[in-house]
Amino acid sequence: MFQSLRRWSSRRSVVASLAVLAALLGVMAASLVVTGARVLAAQADLPEVVVYKTPTCGCCSKWVAHLRDAGFKVRTIDLEDLDPIRRDWKVPPKLASCHTAKVGRYVIEGHVPAADIRRLLATQPRVDGLAVPGMPVGSPGMEQGNVVEPYDVLSFNAAGDTSVFASHR
């Protein structure tokens, strides 16, 4: 008799444990759905970023990943020569970097952090774009361990005027 009671009690424990596990899995699945919906909503609010880069540039691909991780939809176009695009979009030659992008009405030149692009889109200043001249170590896509060179994100206009939009130290 005691043996059958133990079996019944053991089965009951297993069933109870399975019920708890199923409930936890349900909560986790619901959380993932909500998180996914939030990411999609955030992406829906942001315009697509179209990145023009050379096909062999590894840091450009890392910058694209940085933007995607920040919730941007990104499309890449590989070109051998970016100078014609920079000329068409009036990027001052002194601001040139390894990739050029367009987001909304703005031009993005180089390793501009996603947070600065979000701020640009939110504030809509009267500029043609943002640039990080050169390729500073520690900027998005140019990470090398804990090494970070101080750099500025510059806003620019077609006349070539620049001003500091953000500083990263």
Strand residues in 30-137 grouped as ranges (E): 49-53, 74-78, 99-103, 106-110, 129-132
Range picked from 19-28, 55-64, 66-75 for highest mean pLDDT = 66-75
* Better pLDDT: 102 or 20: 102
Lowest-pLDDT range of 33-42, 50-59, 91-100, 138-147: 33-42
pLDDT at 2 over 70: no
Bridge-based pairing of strands 49-53 and 74-78 is parallel
pTM for the full model?
A: 0.74
Domain-by-domain residue ranges, the chain? 1-45, 47-168
DSSP 8-state code for residue 137: T
- CATH tag for 47-168 (out of 3.40.30.10, 1.10.287.3510, 2.60.40.10, 3.40.50.2300): 3.40.30.10
Structure confidence at residue 169 (pLDDT): 92
- What whole-number distance in Å separates Cα of residue 128 and Cα of residue 134? 19
Strand order across the 151-156 sheet: 74-78, 49-53, 99-103, 106-110, 129-132, 151-156, 162-168
Nearest one of 126, 115, 129 to 46, comparing CA atoms: 115
Digit-coded pLDDT (tens) for 149-165: 999 999 999 999 999 99
Q: For the purposes of burial, counting CB atoms within 10 Å of the CB of 43, is it exposed (0-12), middle (13-18) or buried (19 or more)?
A: middle
Lowest-pLDDT range of 12-26, 93-107, 113-127: 12-26
Digit-coded pLDDT (tens) for 60-114: 999 999 999 999 999 999 999 999 999 999 999 999 999 999 999 999 999 999 9
Lowest-pLDDT range of 26-35, 48-57, 138-147: 26-35
Which pair of structure tokens corresponds to residue 66? 């940085």
